[in-house]
Structure 1
Amino acid sequence: MHSNNVEFEVYGNYALFSDPIMRVGGEKCSYQVPTYEALKGILMSVYWKPTIIWYIDKVRVMNQIQTEVKGVRPIKYTGNGNDLAYYTYLKNCRYQVQAHFEWNKNRPELEGDRNENKHHNIAKRMILKGGRRDVFLGTRECQAYVEPCKFGEGSGAYDDVNELAFGVMYHGITYPDEFYSPETKDCMTVRFWRPVMKKGVIDFIRPQECTATKKIHPMKMKIFEDKKNFSGLDEFEHEEGGTIDEFV
């Protein structure tokens, strides 16, 4: 348990956690459980600043895994008009999530913003309010909702299932501003792993622990310059509608 730990529940009628390879058109089929990247995206919609990196520690599957096939008309990737495709969604989804944040050491220009108490309190308050931005379970059409919870409380559909493996699964993408090795610097890198659910809970490994990775393409990290596109505490006070003393 980390000192800046957060716990929340996210739920929605539908979810679509798909492999990036399946997002270029045609039929789409959801994974059975949320990906690390999808849960991280939810937390970043709730609260995020470039000073911090969110790490998802674990997820608990509360409802039974069910799927539903829908006919959709996505926009064609080539030409005009729409295609006809069938998407396989998860339905009646509810998950408990435990996560924490760490400082982004790749951004020394934001070192003055490393106030753990400030960011932790704002994150908890944003979870209580349901997030700063809209929350989705995988894709835009899968609207979701966030609220605080105590991880492990309540009964889950898989509390009595000792172990369930899901094979090779997409873990997430390492972007240039979160690189952790010479191999992941100045590029986008996709990570894969083999998740195992025990008693309804999946313990996520850290991004740097993923041994199966693939470079996608080169990309440079954006640098934040003081008084140009980052104004330190002035930006924080304006965004939160108060002074720094009110929120620390």
Structure 2
Amino acid sequence: MKKYRNTIEFEVYGAYALFADPVTRVGGEKTSYHIPTYEALKGIVESIYWKPTIMWIIDAVRVMNPIQTETKGIRPIAYNGGNELAYYTYLKDVRYQVRAHFEMNYNHPELEQDRNENKHHNIAKRMVQRGGRRDIFLGTRECQAFVEPCEFGIGEGYYDMMTGEVSYGFMYHGITYAEEAILEEDRDKMTVRFWRPVMKNGGVIEFTRPEDCTEKRHIRPMQRKIFGKNNFTGLEEFTSEEVED
């Protein structure tokens, strides 16, 4: 597995996780996938450090703890008011090692002067040391999580002695928004992606890059965001941030 120049590696862990299929998020019962989705891990990385100048690519995840589930009775707020009873099936006692790297987002020419790889990489590594800039969640808000630096592949994992492969079939991968579209066919659109993950020896799942997902659907037209002094913190902050962080 290739390790890129702008790589960060970290462990994320928590008491519960809920990586639900987006189709089930409207209401009613929710059941977690047995493994984290690309989109959920990307959200965690962006909570550690995010700037529109860069795009995070999730390379791999290593499942460290045994996959276990627990069902809870929940009383969420119903769409027509009041509460309703629903059963959510969570993953419990989860721990993952994650490897990710960033690339420049060339869909934002207005941020060209902020394309400083060393600066963003150094800040990202410091944010991993600090446990992230924003709160970390494993799939949903109620699943609080914590981040620590690690070396990917080092340390004892539950699936280290596993032989062969485990296929998880057809699964949600993530959403490509207009400002992160790489393929011409995905530009100015919101695109949902799917893939077929496989867990290999050591509990490692290597992710397909978003633009390499062949099974996808365009949801709706979408215009990319344009960042500048009037609708963002301003490019001056990028320069001072390197010193402050």
1:23 counterpart = 2:25: yes
Q: Distance in 1 between matches of 2:51 and 2:233?
A: 13
What is the aligned partner in structure 1 of residue 115 from structure 2? Answer: 114
Worse-matched range after superposition: 168-177 or 228-237: 228-237
Opposite residue 207 of structure 1, the aligned amino acid is: P
- Identity %, equivalent residues: 68
CA apart distance, 1:155: 1.1
Residue by residue over 1:143-162, the C-alpha shift from the partner in whole angstroms, topping out at 9 and shown as x without a partner, is: 00001000011111111222
Question: Would the aligned equivalents of 1:52 and 1:103 in 2 still touch at CA under 8 Å?
Answer: yes
Alpha-carbon deviations, 1:88-137, whole Å to 9, x = none? 00000000000100000111111100001100000000010010100000
| 1:223 partner letter | I
* Aligned counterpart, 1:128: 129
Deviation at 1:183, TM superposition (A): 2.3
What is the aligned partner in structure 2 of residue 160 from structure 1?
Answer: 161
Gaps of 5+ in 2: none
Determine helix, strand or coil for the equivalent of 2:20. Answer: coil
Aligned partner of 2:195 among 186, 193, 203? 193
Q: Is the 8 A contact 1:14 1:137 kept in 2?
A: yes
Q: What displacement does 1:220 show?
A: 1.1
Cα gap change, 1:170 to 1:183, in 2 (>3 Å): same
Of the three residues 196, 207, 210, the one matched with 2:210 is 207
- Gaps in structure 1 of 5+ consecutive residues: none
* C-alpha contact 1:113 1:232 (8 A) present in aligned 2: no
CA distance in 2, matches of 1:37, 1:56: 9
Q: Distance in 1 between matches of 2:166 and 2:178?
A: 33
Query: 4+ runs of 1 displaced by more than 4 Å?
Result: 230-233, 244-247
C-alpha distance after superposition, 1:12-47 (max 9, x if no partner): 000000111010001000000000000000000010
In 2: Cα distance, 1:37 partner to 1:160 partner: 28
Q: Following the alignment from structure 1 to structure 2, what is the Cα–Cα distance between the partners of residues 104 and 234?
A: 19
Indicate the RMSD between aligned Cα atoms, in angstroms: 1.4
Q: What is the CA–CA distance in structure 1 between the aligned matches of 2:204 and 2:44, rounded to whole Å?
A: 18
- Displacement of 1:237 after TM fit? 4.9
Contact 1:176 1:184 in 2 (8 A): yes
Equivalent positions of 1:77-116 (< 5 A) are 77=79, 79-116=80-117
Instruction: Decide whether the 8 Å contact of 1:60 with 1:97 is kept in 2.
Output: yes
State the TM-score, normalizing by the size of structure 1.
0.94
Cross-structure match for 1:145: 146
3-state SS of 2:139 partner: coil
Distance (Å, rounded) in 1 between the aligned partners of 2:142 and 2:152: 27
TM-score normalised by L of structure 2: 0.95
* Higher mean C-alpha deviation, range 38-47 or range 155-164: 155-164
